[in-house]
Each structure stands twice: as structure tokens, then as C-alpha cells.
Amino acid sequence: MRQFLYVLWLEIKYLFTMNNVTSLNEIKSQKMLGDFQKQKVSFNLRKLQHALNEVLKIKGFDTSLGIPHFAAIPLTQIPGDPSSIEGNKARGVYWTKPDSTGIEVSRDVNIDESKYSEFIKDFEHTYFKEVFDELKKHYKLGRVRLLLKEPRSTLSWHRDPEPRLHIPIVTNPGCLMVIDKTAQHMPADGGVWVTNNVKYHNAFNGGEENRVHLVACVLDYNFN
């Protein structure tokens, strides 16, 4: 009888321990991915890559933004205002700590993201218009851009006014985004991610080919 009770106690202890381990792993996983949230909506990767090639035949990446190894192609603008996607308006305000003092400074100009509601007509025939229309059903969007990160390069350590939605189109295993102290690779599989860019972060491309994401500012997304 004692032996039976002892074995039963061991089994209960084992199950309790395993449940705790599972719970801890779930909590750890949620914490690790807390600032990188995979969304339920997804798109056709082949069509995304074809649309990218179509856009590049019309307009190349704008490398005059003043950020090394970084470029953008805006997909939306303020209605009737093509100047809203020129110069530093293509970048928008952000904050960074550029030197050893650790003092935060702002860069570029404030932008009213909510006004960027018009999809650029030159690209309306591409799959990106369908993507834009679908995303609008789920999120309140600001600017939507195609963002290029060139090989073997990184962005500054900075924070943005709002979260960002990412759809990786071209990437490689050496492309990572770091938020606070957590790094995450977002694969090009048609999936959609929302990242907590209000925290300090950067992105780097450690590979030998370009990284291209469709990136949208998201105005109604809250991280818990």
C-alpha cells in the first residue's frame, strides 16, 4: 500500500511539474514574442514578389533619404498631395540616443499619419492595392511603404511614435529586428507581423542580398 501511494505521489508530482514547465514555457514564449505579434491575416508571397518587381519597373527605391543603406517607395500619400511623400516626409519623426551622453533627441518632422489614405495611382494595378484594401479592414493605417535594407547594414537604435505592420517580401536568415533586448527574424512566407516600435529598436540585414518589407504605420494597435 505504501509503495502504491509512493508511486501515485511520484506520478502526481511529475504531472504537476510538467504542467508548470509547460506554463512557464508558454509564458516565456509569449514574453519573447510579446513585441513581435504574428497576425491571422496573410497574403500570397508569389504575388507580393511579383508586385514588387512591377513597382520597381515604374519607380526605383529612393536612396536620397539621408539614411545609409536604407530606401523607401511610398505606396500611400495624403490625397492629392504628392509632396507628402517627398524628402523627410518619407521618413517621419523618430527619437534616438546618438552619442555617449545617452540623451534622447528627435529627428525629422512630425507627420499626421491618419491623412495618408490615398493609394498611389501608379501602383493601383499591382497586388499591393489588394493588400492595402484588405489591411484597411483590420487596422487603422498611416503611411504604407516598401522599405529596403541593403546587405550588411543596420538602422540606428531608435523609437517611433506608433507600432509598425510588416509583411516580409524578400529576406534572408541574417535579417533580424531587435526590440529592447529581443531579436526576431520575420520570414518571407506571406505572413503579417505587428512590431512594438514605440520601444527602442533597430533592424539589420546581415545577409548578402537586399531585405524588402511592406511596412505600414498602425494607429489603433495596442500592445499589452
Q: Are 140 and 61 in the same domain?
A: yes
- Taking residues 115-124, report their average pLDDT: 97
Q: Are residues 14 and 105 in the same domain?
A: no
Q: Is the pLDDT of residue 142 over 70?
A: yes
51 and 85 together in one domain = yes
What DSSP string runs through 156-217?
A: -SEE-SS-EEEEEEE--TTEEEEETTEEE---SSSEEEEE-TTSSEEEEE-SSS-EEEEEEE
What is this structure's pTM? 0.83
Q: Are residues 28 and 131 in the same domain?
A: no
pLDDT, tens only, 23-58? 434 434 444 459 999 999 999 999 999 999 999 999
Q: Do 28 and 42 reside in the same domain of the chain? A: no
Same domain as 45, residue 150: yes
Confirm whether 193 is domain-assigned.
yes
**For position 202, what pLDDT does the model report?**
96
pLDDT tens-digit series, residues 171-220: 999 999 999 999 999 999 999 999 999 999 999 999 999 999 999 999 99
Half-sphere exposure of 24 (CA within 13 A, CB side): 6
Q: Is residue 17 domain-shared with residue 68, that is, in the same domain?
A: no
The Cα–Cα gap between 25 and 32 comes to: 10
pLDDT at 3: 52
Residue 130 has pLDDT above 80, yes or no: yes
**Contact (CB, 8 A) for 220 and 139:** yes
Structural domain count, the chain:
2
Residues in the chain: 224
**12 and 83 inside one domain:** no
Distance CA 184, CA 171 (A): 13
Residues 27 and 69 reside in one and the same domain: no
Residue 211 lies in a domain: yes
3-state secondary structure of 142: strand
Same domain, 172 and 212: yes
Range of the domain at 10: 1-32
| H, E, C per residue of 41-66 | EECCHHHHHHHHHHHHHHCCCECCCC
User: Does 182 lie in the same domain as 92?
Assistant: yes
